[in-house]
Amino acid sequence: MNLRTEITNMASDRASAANIVRQQTLKNSIHCSGVALHSGAKVSMALHPAEANSGIVFRRTDADGGSEIQALWENAIETPLCTTLVDGRGNQIATIEHLMSALSGCGIDNAVIEVNGPEVPIMDGSAAPFVFLIECAGVTVQDSPRRAIRILSETSVSEPHRTASLSPGAGYTVGFEIDFGDTLIGHQEWFTEVTESAFKRDVSRARTFGLVQDVEKMRAMGLARGGSLENAIVVNGMEIMNEEGLRYSNEFVRHKVLDSIGDLYLAGGPIIGHFQGDRAGHALTLRLLNALFADADAWEWTDLTLGNAAVAAQIQPERAVAARA
């Protein structure tokens, strides 16, 4: 190898290193409190910075001996109407999907979430309060490269009247379809690219929702005891019971997209590919992740770079400057 070739290779290596997208965590700790949607209990929560490569970790500060649960699909269990993590001793953290969606949408790779109960507070029923907390805490770039799960071939799961799939794509996109028949919700479809700006503008404010006739059934099951018009859209036939109305004309399907983004973040990193849900819920999305990771040929880890088409789906332009540093 001659001197010119060595210089060329060194320059190429420096350019490659400069283009690597770095992991991010919170700059400061931040606290909040609120009502748990299903138990109705008052909950306090704190979001803390975390070391690079540590991922998203939940801690139950009220559990005997402490409880720490990595936010990964393999630690999740199927529960009605929410996403739940469980440790080896049976300690649970439920209703994590809106917070996980905000962490994904804001590009937070590493954080410690402390909760003094078995459920994350519901706040206003959307991801927007969590986005606000993240912005108030600030975001800092870390030294380690950011890694993503690239989808190499289609994986699909289904049950009667419901399907969910992941397929290859250049960036991160989500499509969803719902059908609530003869109600105001009706049939809705929506598609979005998951960029930080699009998430905040088009997804984060979409609230959870339910039908008035289902409320008593849920409460009989021990669910939705903290639900109210302050944290959910309630539909009675062709009428919305919330005085302020909707935040988006198709807020219902947008919330399903919000849920999907949060559930998919249990993969352990951002997705490079397309998710499509047809009347899917938390349980089916969890089964999809199980099916994906059971097939080693369907996915791969890849470092994100500024030249990677998927980067546009993960960081804001102003963050790219910090990623180069």
- For the segment 294-322, the average pLDDT, to the nearest whole number, is 69
Work out the pLDDT band at 305, boundaries 50, 70, 90: confident
User: What pLDDT sits at residue 216?
Assistant: 76
Do residues 204 and 105 touch, judged by C-beta distance below 8 A? yes
User: What pLDDT sits at residue 243?
Assistant: 96
| The model's pTM | 0.91
CATH of domain 21-324: 3.30.1700.10
**Is 170 or 13 the better-scoring residue by pLDDT?**
170
Q: pLDDT of 242-269, one tens digit each?
A: 999 999 999 999 999 999 999 999 999 9
DSSP codes, 151-183: E-S-EEEEETTEEEEEE--SSEEEEEEEE-SSS
DSSP codes, 86-124: E-TTS-EEE--HHHHHHHHHTT--BEEEEESSSB-B-TT
Work out the pLDDT band at 151, boundaries 50, 70, 90: very high
- For the segment 110-132, the average pLDDT, to the nearest whole number, is 97
Residue count (the chain): 325
- For the segment 119-147, the average pLDDT, to the nearest whole number, is 97
Q: pLDDT of 66-93, one tens digit each?
A: 899 999 999 999 988 899 999 999 999 9
Among the listed residues 38, 98, 274, 282, the single catalytic one is 282
- C-alpha distances in angstroms, 81 versus 37, 56, 66, 218, 298? 10, 22, 26, 9, 28
Q: Is 282 a catalytic residue?
A: yes
